[in-house]
Amino acid sequence: MARNYLRTVVLRQAVVAWLVIAAVAGAPAPALGADEEVQIGSLTLEIVKLGDFRRQARIGGLTVAEDFYVHVERVFNAGLEGAAVLEVADRGNECAALYEIVFVAANGHITKTDEFGDCLSVSSITGDAKELRLRFDPVAGLDGWLYHWTADGGLEEPRDIAFAPKLGTGWAHAHDLIGRRPSQIFENEEISSALRLLVGEDFEALKYDILVAGEIEEVAHDTIVGHGCLPQACAYAEALVALDIRHRRVYAAIYDEDRGLRTYPPEAEWPQVLRTSLHLWRATFM
């Protein structure tokens, strides 16, 4: 469910961006030179520049990936067969990358997966030319997952790796969050539980909508605020989290184009100093 939330928004933004690029660019631009060149089984994959803002991965005349940034992450060869993991990204709003697996069979036949990974960096890649596992560790309140690919069966649906806050963390550790990313609030067991209770079914949206962010700041004594937005879609979804450490109270606000602004609890119940922070934040996108 959480993965689908981010994937839907990212794909919506990506389709719009691609249509704009296609309309402006018209015919494909000629290559300006190779950035990388690697052997995959019996064939050669090269990554070429199509201009300052586009890279393309090619095997012969076949394009296997194209975006602002394309990089060969790992290659696994076994004689005439080989598999490569490509990192593909548009470098927008701190989306680390998506990934793609390209396979060259012994007879030279080429297959590839769709892009996968939902913007988080891969933690490990293990396997060989015919079987790979890509692990994405849990981070900042988000579950991780393990992808399994085989040359014969392709890419399977990922297995979830559950995120868990740090045991024993609570309000006594709240001041440690100052100067850190707001998403690290979800690593605090007691405060994360309070936020889940506060926002209810919007808890998953909150975790994603605050991923791209600056540092948490102390806006008054024992009062801290952090805000951010959804990777690849800062104009689409934003979120704010505030903590009243002295009274052990949490506050949150979520904005997106579909549902507008929601505050938890209602804004009238926020202390004045946090209402001021809320208004300043809201003025940046509304």
Taking CA atoms, 67 is separated from 15, 17, 233, in Å, by 12, 11, 17
Return the domain boundaries, the chain: 2-161, 171-282
Task: Give residue for tokens 């605050």.
Answer: 210
Its CATH class, for the domain covering 171-282, is alpha beta
The pair of structure tokens assigned to 238 is 């934003």
Closest alpha carbon to 231 in 78, 52, 7, 38: 7
Average per-residue pLDDT for the chain? 87
Per residue in 204-215, pLDDT tens? 999 999 988 899
Cα 236 versus chain centre, distance: 15
| Separation between Cα atoms, residue 104 and residue 141, nearest integer Å | 37
Closest alpha carbon to 283 in 218, 242, 238: 238
Q: Report the share of the chain in percent with pLDDT over 90.
A: 74
Span 112-117, average pLDDT:
94
| pLDDT for residue 22 | 33
The pair of structure tokens assigned to 18 is 């691609």
**Exposed e or buried b per residue across 226-256, where buried means at least 16 C-beta atoms within 10 angstroms of its C-beta:** bbbbbbbbbebbbbbbbbbbeeebbbbbbbb
Taking CA atoms, 59 is separated from 42, 83, 155, 181, 285, in Å, by 11, 13, 21, 41, 43
Asked if residue 138 has a cis previous peptide bond (ω within 30° of 0), the answer is: no
Task: Give residue for tokens 């994360």.
Answer: 192
Taking CA atoms, 177 is separated from 155, 156, 201, 284, in Å, by 38, 37, 24, 23
Is the pTM for the entire model greater than 0.85?
no
93 pLDDT tier (thresholds 50, 70, 90): low
| Separation between Cα atoms, residue 56 and residue 270, nearest integer Å | 50
| pLDDT for residue 97 | 83
* Total residues belonging to the chain: 286
| Separation between Cα atoms, residue 217 and residue 114, nearest integer Å | 40
The pair of structure tokens assigned to 201 is 């079914």
